[in-house]
Structure 1
Amino acid sequence: MAPPRPIPTGSPSSRRESIAGLASSFAASLVDPSPMAQAVLARDIADLTPSDIEAESAAASYHSAGILTDTDALGDADSDYDNTGAHPPYLYRRPSAIAYGTSRPALGVAPNHGPALTKEELIRSREAEASLLRDNHLLPPKHVAAVTSSASSCDAVVAPRQLGFLGTLYKRMFSPRRPLDPAEEERRLQANGVSSASSTTVVSDSEPDEHTALLASAPAPDAAPPGNLDDQWEAAVAAGQIHTTWQRELKTIATYSRSLIITFLLQYSINITGIFAVGHIGTAELGAVSLATMTASITFYAPCQGLATCLDTLCSQAYGSGHRTLVGLQLQRMCCFLLLLSIPLAGIWVFSEQILSGLVPERETAALAGLYLRILVFSMPASAVFECSKRYMQAQGLFTANTYVLLIAAPFNVFLNWLLVWKMELGFIGAPISAVITQWLMPSLLFLYVYFIDGSECWGGFSPRIFSNWGPMVKLALPGMIMIEAEFFAFEILTLAAGRFGTSELAAQSILVTMTSTTYQIPFPMSIAASTRVANLIGAKLPEAAKICAKVATYMGISIGVFNFFLVYAFRYQIPVLFTDDAEVIELVAQVIPICAFLQVFDGSSAVASALLRGVGRQEIGSYANLAAYYVVALPISFSTAFGLDWRLPGLWFGVTIGLFLVTVAEFTYLYGYNWNRAVAEAEERNLNS
């Protein structure tokens, strides 16, 4: 760890930046995974046998050929791109690693240096660059308007398409293109030797491309032909000609968010289907499911997801090094480690009834929760393997594979719960049996995807080397586990507190947690999309564009929070009916929902604020703010109001709402005074170091 730097006594802004830098250096020394991951990778490469090296070289050559042969997809202007990174893509970065499907989605420690991009990702990068160039009138439109031909001339005159009132209004409000500045266009035409009076809308018969003259005007006879897309982009950025609009950023974030929201909701549905299935059996069963889910999250799911975050770095760097089969080696190591870890943790689940009886006064609830966990223990190996396999696929840029798996597994899980709980009348035990079958189905489907579709190039078979290099791997995984475990424990501990009030309060707590976690699956994926977009723009050296994107994301987060507020409050008596028929539980939930409705606004806002901090490389600020808000503010207020003032269940949620409000204020206060040019400089330094 580097020695601490002195804090100067200059202006407030300089002191603020110095303090921020000091915090950043501390956080980097704690969670920066890159140097350790590089050491692990170097050892693995040194251990490669000659046959392994030959196989790796063949795989790498095939991968490079797959990228370079598809010149039509990348465009002729980019045919000189090679996989060595001579012309690096600017406007694409993979989303941060996500542990989704839990009651409160968590972010792991994202790698600072990602792997080489796939062919599809390179295409998306080029499309994003060309799209921004077109928005700023630096490239001709992608699609030429209606063209009329003349028999006496080989030229064609563009006939502008007539738009109606609604079409014109829509174009003015939502068109991503910047309004054309006549003075700026006049200067540009004069620079090309064309006057505005002589400029026309005449275009040639050929399809326009990157080499077509600006705005399809006649090129100057002695004008030099433009360079390829990389040169055009770099020249435009250096000249300060790249600007964005709120319409462009709104469209981009919405497009990025679609698949993420679907994926989050699908995987979370696997968790809550059991609650829907057993809720109408009885109040004790509904509370038991919540208690069992909380125990499973704290004792296994959170540690499993936290430890697996190290694969985000290890697999990414192995993939980027060109040694593809080392990705599979890292997968095998973590799977073995988690399977060994699950043995003692399984003992906690087996004897959970005795443990929970000392924490929850209701004996029946503790017994049912223990029964749920004893059945769920059979899903531990499948959960561990699937959590690692997701990282294996993400390192290769195959994000859609997990979505395809969930599109099959989630509906099947609903069918299983209906079949076992109600049709076959197994009752309460049908829910954990359905969960076990679904948990085993997901890694099986992912295996079939790898075997028959894509992802097998990184699998080099089973190797005895999976039992080496465990020490650095575990050391690299611990920070991610501690962070995610802290986030899980701080929120889920309220379930234990609710259990102290009785069965009805615990059942109501189960409904409230499920409701708030479900609504959180909308702003959180959107915030990930915003974080990725901001990081892209920062990496492309466009700080002003990043600020516009941040503003759009902020308004989107607040809008989603307000929408959830009205939705939850308006249906405060209808929502609990979906879970239970007990009148007392329904009334308890309806009493607390007004507080949870206000929480929705701060939930959406804080999700966006944390995402923007990740986008500018200041994720440690959000982590510190969240942990401080939960443990220093939220939990003490919750326990004081719930037990001290006897507010009971509303008091528990009051503290959480206050904590999220303070998180939102703290994070946006930091962002308001943040130097975005500094973020660009730091991103450039990271790219050079990589």
Structure 2
Amino acid sequence: MATPTKLSGTLDRVSSITSRVFSSSFPSASPIAQESLARDLAEDTDSDAMVSDDDESESSTLRPSTSAPGGGYSFVGSYRRPSFAGAGNRATVLPQFVREHDRLSKEERKQALEEERSLLRDNNIIPPKHPLAEDSGRRKSLFGSYLSIPGGDRKAGRDEEAAPASDGVAGVASEVSPLLGDPSLPYGGQDDPETLDAKWEQAVAAGMIHTTWQREAKVIAAYSAPLMVTFVLQYSLTVASIFTVGHIGTVELGAVSLASMSANITGYAIYQGLATSLDTLCAQAYGSGRKKLVGLQMQRMVFFLWTISIPIAIVWVLAENILRVIVPEPAVAELAGLYLRVVLFGAPGYAAFEAGKRFVQAQGLFSASLYVLIVCAPFNAFLNWLLVWKFQLGFVGAPIAVAITDNLLPLGLFIYVRFFSKTGMSCWNGFTKKAWQNWGPMVKLALPGVVMLEAEVLAFEVLTFASSYFGTTILAAQSVLATLTSITFQIPFPLSIAGSTRVANLIGATLADAARVSTRVTFTAAIVVGIMNVTLLSSLKDYIPHLFTSDPEVVRVVSKILPLCAAFQLFDALAANCNGVLRGLGRQEVGGYVQLFCYYVVAMPISFGTAFGLGWGLWGLWTGVAIALGLVALIEFIYLYRTDWQRSVEEARARNQEGGA
């Protein structure tokens, strides 16, 4: 499916667009998930769990694609980041092989028909939406030939009246054929699903569906704009603590960075990775029409994550002693341990929010998380200021603010689903003892997600550990640099998601040429974003560090390294969007292995060799990262340049036919 191409300024419109971007991104279940669902169905005797006729999914004549149209791979988990740490991590999550949806919901079907109608209209296969006078209609057709049909065939508009009509409502107009139907009706009266289906199928088969840069730019903007807002809000929960604590002192700034990284590796990434299994299980249950099982799967995950929180709590309580062995600065280890002990009180809420996000996402309610973050992100910043400075609690105020916010996140999600969503509660089956049964399939699906996500997190966060060996000043500077590059990454990463979704949809609809156009638009946008980030960081290198710290030495070190960080921003944006296109083509395994090679085989040896062997310090640590990102962008760009796009279309068509059979 696809979305409309005009972006409205209202929050409801943002919500709608966000839902549409990802509503086809869920994979169908793996055999493990099918086993879980079959067992639940066998045990389920509640007649209310059966879907009503009104809620049943429909088969679609549109050839939609999901997240993996080319090879059946899912990139689930590679973009759904938590609200505290890890939003928009760079590394591509390695693929899981899954099978694709073969049905659309009625809402998805409606959206797909809207996109079909828009493309048919822009290619002059059906009349415009609004009836036009004869002269204005002719002028619009002439103008449209420039924008909608590649090559700008002006003769098409002039010959419109003289060309023969196509046969019947199912016929397909050529570029020189008249617009059929009653000119007094919207779309000439040809906007009924049956006619659109027939015209779409035949137009695609005839190679008549084209797109333009203008259209694709609007679609990419509509997809990416709400995501950028969401990711920036997500990461702001981390930045708020660093901003606030950084002005207390150098030791505190290094400690909050080390603590955040430790919490991410030993806790948050585990919650994220385990919860990715719901992307399969909840989507499978919802897609099968057994809505009550969606709530059951969420309950299981919440209880499972709370159980996992016990060993996580032990590690966080003992974190000070563990960090003293790893980190050479005792004061930093002590404060980091204090941070983890306090933030532990928010871990159950954070775990529940991770499961709750999947619960609403399975129903297409992607706006829920956005609404919650719009409220909680500013409140988190206010809490940091209030506790750290107004109430003068100092360093400990930051983790208290995080713990409170983490517990408010699931509460906000519940309030949205209960009182503001029309359909969210239809998937809630009430608390049941069944949530303590049938954990096996869920755990089997969850463990690979943890392994993949931990590999991703460690690739960059290990630099923070390494920087601690150069002293508290360098550790504090590393904290600022890591935060800055993560903030700037929240722009190209959502752009890559938008590109992957659009390319996936077009490839699934067998429109290879349109997918190529969309890819060019996405890459152009990535270059623009990359240049903006380069300009911003390089031109403000002497001013930005003051936002994070008042220590002159830390400011000096950050200002010295920022030009290097700015230099690879273009590579960062291009690499992110290469990964997005690979995901859209269903070839994200290529990006995953390329990045693992570049990060662990190239970046880490160069970083440690130059930092410690050559004595380059923090400059050396970031040199390896810069080289790795350049290699990722180069290798993946060459791969995409040599990709046979038509082959991806054929793979999508073959799989769709297999699914239909």
Contact residue 181 and residue 189 of structure 2 kept, 8 A = no
| 1:63 match | 55
Letter in 1 for 2:59: G
Q: Which of the residues 64, 84, 93 maps onto 1:90?
A: 64
Distance 2:334 2:193 in 1: 74
Q: Which of the residues 648, 670, 690 maps onto 2:617?
A: 648
| 1:117 Cα deviation from its structure 2 partner | 4.1
Between 95-104 and 529-538, the greater mean CA deviation after superposition:
95-104
| 1:99 match | 80
Provide the TM-score with structure 2 as the length reference.
0.87
- 2:548 is the counterpart of 1:579: yes
Distance 2:181 2:300 in 1: 60
Query: Which of the two has higher C-alpha Rg?
Result: 1
Give 1:277-356 correspondences, 5 Å limit. 277-356=244-323
Aligned-partner SS, 2:129: coil
Between 641-650 and 667-676, the greater mean CA deviation after superposition:
667-676
Contact residue 302 and residue 484 of structure 1 kept, 8 A = yes
Give 1:522-671 correspondences, 5 Å limit. 522-671=491-640
Contact residue 177 and residue 248 of structure 1 kept, 8 A = no
- 2:109 is the counterpart of 1:131: no
Distance 1:142 1:126 in 2: 14
Letter in 2 for 1:134: R
- 2:186 is the counterpart of 1:208: yes
Distance 2:145 2:262 in 1: 50
Aligned-partner SS, 2:549: coil
| 1:84 Cα deviation from its structure 2 partner | 3.0
| 1:469 Cα deviation from its structure 2 partner | 2.3
How big is each residue's C-alpha offset from its partner over 1:600-619, in whole Å with a ceiling of 9 and x where there is no partner? 11110000001111101111
Distance 1:93 1:652 in 2: 35
Between 648-657 and 661-670, the greater mean CA deviation after superposition:
661-670
Say if 1:179 and 1:203 are closer, same or farther in 2 by CA, change over 3 A: farther
Structure 2 alignment gaps of length 5 or more? 1-26, 69-74, 168-173
Distance 1:273 1:43 in 2: 45
Q: Which of the residues 153, 171, 181 maps onto 1:181?
A: 153
Aligned-partner SS, 2:568: helix
- 2:407 is the counterpart of 1:440: yes
How big is each residue's C-alpha offset from its partner over 1:576-632, in whole Å with a ceiling of 9 and x where there is no partner? 000111110000001111110112111100000011111011111111111111111
- 2:474 is the counterpart of 1:483: no
Say if 1:210 and 1:200 are closer, same or farther in 2 by CA, change over 3 A: closer
Distance 2:376 2:631 in 1: 38
RMSD: 3.0
Say if 1:189 and 1:613 are closer, same or farther in 2 by CA, change over 3 A: farther
Q: Which of the residues 100, 117, 128 maps onto 1:113?
A: 100
| 1:38 match | 34
- 2:164 is the counterpart of 1:191: yes
Contact residue 285 and residue 293 of structure 2 kept, 8 A = yes
Say if 1:527 and 1:329 are closer, same or farther in 2 by CA, change over 3 A: same
| 2:210 match | 243
Distance 1:193 1:330 in 2: 51
| 1:160 Cα deviation from its structure 2 partner | 7.6
| 2:109 match | 122
Say if 1:231 and 1:32 are closer, same or farther in 2 by CA, change over 3 A: closer
Q: Which of the residues 442, 451, 461 maps onto 1:473?
A: 442
Q: Which has the higher contact order (CA 8 A, sep 6+)?
A: 2
Distance 2:223 2:207 in 1: 26
Contact residue 315 and residue 327 of structure 1 kept, 8 A = yes
| 1:73 match | none
Distance 1:38 1:640 in 2: 48
Say if 1:646 and 1:450 are closer, same or farther in 2 by CA, change over 3 A: same
| 1:422 match | 389
| 1:245 Cα deviation from its structure 2 partner | 1.3
Structure 1 alignment gaps of length 5 or more? 1-30, 65-82, 148-155, 163-167, 214-224
Say if 1:549 and 1:47 are closer, same or farther in 2 by CA, change over 3 A: same
Distance 1:91 1:378 in 2: 41
Give 1:331-410 correspondences, 5 Å limit. 331-410=298-377
Distance 2:658 2:534 in 1: 45
Say if 1:545 and 1:255 are closer, same or farther in 2 by CA, change over 3 A: same
Distance 1:686 1:294 in 2: 41
| 1:78 match | none
- 2:215 is the counterpart of 1:270: no
How big is each residue's C-alpha offset from its partner over 1:182-237, in whole Å with a ceiling of 9 and x where there is no partner? 4556499533289x9x9999997723325469xxxxxxxxxxx9961111111100
Aligned-partner SS, 1:99: coil
Aligned-partner SS, 2:429: coil
| 1:231 match | 198
How big is each residue's C-alpha offset from its partner over 1:346-366, in whole Å with a ceiling of 9 and x where there is no partner? 111111111111111111111
Say if 1:619 and 1:542 are closer, same or farther in 2 by CA, change over 3 A: same
Say if 1:481 and 1:159 are closer, same or farther in 2 by CA, change over 3 A: closer
- 2:651 is the counterpart of 1:673: no
How big is each residue's C-alpha offset from its partner over 1:537-584, in whole Å with a ceiling of 9 and x where there is no partner? 010011111111112111211221111011110001111000111110
Aligned-partner SS, 1:228: helix
Distance 1:462 1:204 in 2: 56
Contact residue 261 and residue 522 of structure 1 kept, 8 A = yes
| 1:114 Cα deviation from its structure 2 partner | 4.1
Question: Matched residues, percent identical?
Answer: 50
> For this pair of structures, how many residues does the alignment match?
610
Provide the TM-score with structure 1 as the length reference.
0.83
